[in-house]
Structure 1
């Protein structure tokens, strides 16, 4: 018992330090003074050096050899600690520290370049990040596929080849549905007008409350790229405001509430252990997407939202709840992934997945990235990218080294499609509650069947336990085809 207790006590401090590093990242993206970027980069590098030393401490290997877990949770915690120990031990301390320092600095450089539509000011830094990520991948892969080594950090148990096969299965039906929709003569009207920032933020907070966000353990701030941050007793969300487009703020907020609710919904006994966080980014994304889309963009909730928006903003140009539902779910060619409709969202991910695999493999260099992005976007969406901020500079992920992260968004949509079908069968009264602005029945089902387990089960096993069948893209594709056929009269 001494070994397992010593191991978990040591891990507890590592988890606490990791949480502190995450808080520094939140601060950097929300309230840190712009002039502090270089200082923050040094701070992030320093704390990563401490974390790397702890994650590779030789005592972990000794404890793992002799520890005798007494519960399922202890057994799983040991598996996760061993996985992290083996992975971290392959990465030189110098590399881990330099990656943390450079990606902290790169984030600010990306934000400035995006604001100025100046990719040439960011690409040299991105090239440095890419070189370090290739080095990291080579160290971890030990002769295997470099991209798979990075993907495993975000979605354990799946390979790039499997992701590519999944996308090949999904793409034809998504493209066919999009073409049918865009061929309809009478399209839903867009929302027009001016929607002041403070009013949008008040409405976003109302929506977050409707989805059960715990304001005693969270807060809402503005960020260039919306994200959530934190765990256990402190999980914060961010959003962004575009004054002509209140849906951007509202649905970004609901999306991040899904992420944050996952972290806050984990069994508190798992706090400060490897079980006390989301088990994978695909599972994480399943929570944010089902909150945002299957519940948040459904006819029931949009009917409630229509009344709140009509009260909040003068002269709303949408006549009634049915028309508003169609407007919320408009399918239009657009540049921005985070603003994409449900039909086209996964096509944005497929583009990024192919490009970042080419970047990691060396088939594509950063100097050719803008041209490659623009050509692929035109091919996939039939629209020429008008400016870099709407193209290659729109996402922060590569700036902060998150290669292998993008496909988990689409995998999360697949998981959400499966969960939505099971949820609707288990909670037939859900739409009645959503129509009253109360997502509690859905949130409670997700908390019981997914969120509370944290990292206790591997990702695919967790979802299959929740839905009672194998994971498949079919529920998502059928949901999309049914929903949008009804909206567009296909």
Structure 2
């Protein structure tokens, strides 16, 4: 027991330091002065050096060899610590620190390049990020597929080949649904002026309705909405456009899904290897089911329509049914985070193919923009008009998150499975949502998924929650039924 106790105590300190580093990242995207970017890069590199040294400490191997688990939670912690130890040992300390420094600097340069529509000026630092991640992937893969090694850091146990096969199965039905919807009469569009202060007030109201505990979190603004932190300090951001309140409201609901997962993990798991979401795919399942299956459901739109009228006065769409169609309006937009459910996964497939080719060396950086724009025109029928509508729109590649993008569609697939099981267990769900009451759904998700944190493997987490195998079929069935009804197909 001494080995186990010493290991878990050591791990708790490591987790606490990782939270401090995460807070630095939150600060950088919200309130850090622009002139502090280079210094922040040095700070991030220094802290990453400390964390890497702890994660590769030889004592971990000794403790793992001597530790004996007596509970399921202890066994899961040992599994997760051993996995982290083995991955960290493959990465040189120099490389870990340099990745932290360069990606921190690149994040600030990306934000400036995005504002200035200056892709050419950003490519040099992006090239550094790509080179560092390729080196990291090669170190982790030890002769195997470097992209798979990076992907495994976000979604343990899955490969690029499995993702590619999943996408190949999904694409025909998605493309057919897109074609049918685009050929139907278009849905109305919500237009008008929606003051920022009113949007933020409604955003907070909806965040609370979806269970976000603001005594353990906060809502700020950022270029790219995100959620940060775990345990009892989980923060989210949103962005505001006074001509488009739905972007602010639904990006908030999305991030509350992430934050709710973290806030609802069993308190005894805090600052342990179990005290965070088990994978990015499972994490995304929570944000997507909050945002789409619950928040964009025609039933919930009845309640939200009334709240919008109370806050903003008469809307450009008349009545909850028209409002629901506006909320779920299908259009070939440029921006992934604002994409409707029909188009969203096509955005992810584009990014997956490009980043896998880039990491494998099958695509050179100088050709990335042209490859993006050609693929976008092919998939969406629209020509990209500026970099911020193309490859500069997302923060993921600038901060080195290669392998992250496919977890968004995995999250949608997982959410489809969870939604089918949720509706089977809660037949009154639509009646509840029409009153703005999501408590029953939130309780189901907390009990089935969130409270368990990293206790099980990702796929096991979803199968345990739903009682059935993971499949893309429930998601595709849901999309065809929902948009078939909305568009009279």
TM > 0.5 fold call: yes
Pairwise CA distance, 1:314: 3.2
| Structure 1: distance between partners of 2:341 and 2:6 | 47
Q: Separation in 1 of the partners of 2:281 and 2:155?
A: 6
Unaligned runs of 5+ in 1: none
Taking the aligned partners of 1:160 and 1:363, their CA distance within structure 2 comes to 15
- Which residue of structure 1 aligns with residue 40 of structure 2? 40
Q: Which structure 2 residues correspond to residues 448-467 of structure 1 after superposition, within 5 A?
A: 448-467=447-466
1:272 Cα shift? 1.2
Match of 1:479 in 2: 478
Give the superposition deviation at 1:410: 0.2
How do residues 79-478 of structure 1 correspond to structure 2 at under 5 angstroms? 79-184=79-184, 186-478=185-477
Distance in 1 (alpha carbons) for counterparts of 2:488 and 2:334: 26
The C-alpha deviation readout for 1:93-118, integer Å capped at 9, x for no partner, is 00000000100000000000000111
Deviation at 1:367, TM superposition (A): 1.1
Q: Which TM-score applies when normalising by structure 1?
A: 0.99
Aligned length, in residue pairs: 489
CA displacement, residues 71-93 of structure 1 (integer Å, 9 cap, x when unaligned): 11111101110100010001000
Q: How many angstroms apart in 2 are the aligned matches of 1:365 and 1:194? A: 43
**Aligned-residue CA RMSD in angstroms?**
0.7
Whole-angstrom distance in 2 between the partners of 1:292 and 1:315: 24
Deviation of 1:438 (Å): 1.8
For 2:307 and 2:206, the matched residues in 1 are separated by 10
How many Å apart are 1:431 and its aligned residue? 1.9
Q: Distance in 2 between matches of 1:358 and 1:69?
A: 42
C-alpha separation in 2, matches of 1:441 and 1:482: 23
**Moved segments of 4+, more than 4 Å:** none
Query: Matched residues in 2 for 1:212 and 1:5: separation?
Result: 34
Once the two structures are overlaid, the 10-residue window that deviates more, 169-178 or 62-71, is 62-71
| Equivalent-residue separation in structure 1 for 2:23 and 2:87 (angstroms) | 24
User: Counterparts in 2 of 1:12-51, with a 5 A limit?
Assistant: 12-51=12-51
Deviation at 1:160, TM superposition (A): 0.1
Bigger shift: 113-122 or 430-439? Answer: 430-439
What are structure 2's unaligned runs of at least 5 residues? none
Distance in 2 of aligned mates of 1:428 and 1:121: 54
The alpha-carbon deviation at position 315 of structure 1 amounts to 3.5
Return the alpha-carbon distance in structure 2 between the equivalents of residues 433 and 477 of structure 1.
24
Residues of 1 paired with 2:123 and 2:445: CA distance? 41
| TM-score (normalizing by structure 2) | 0.99
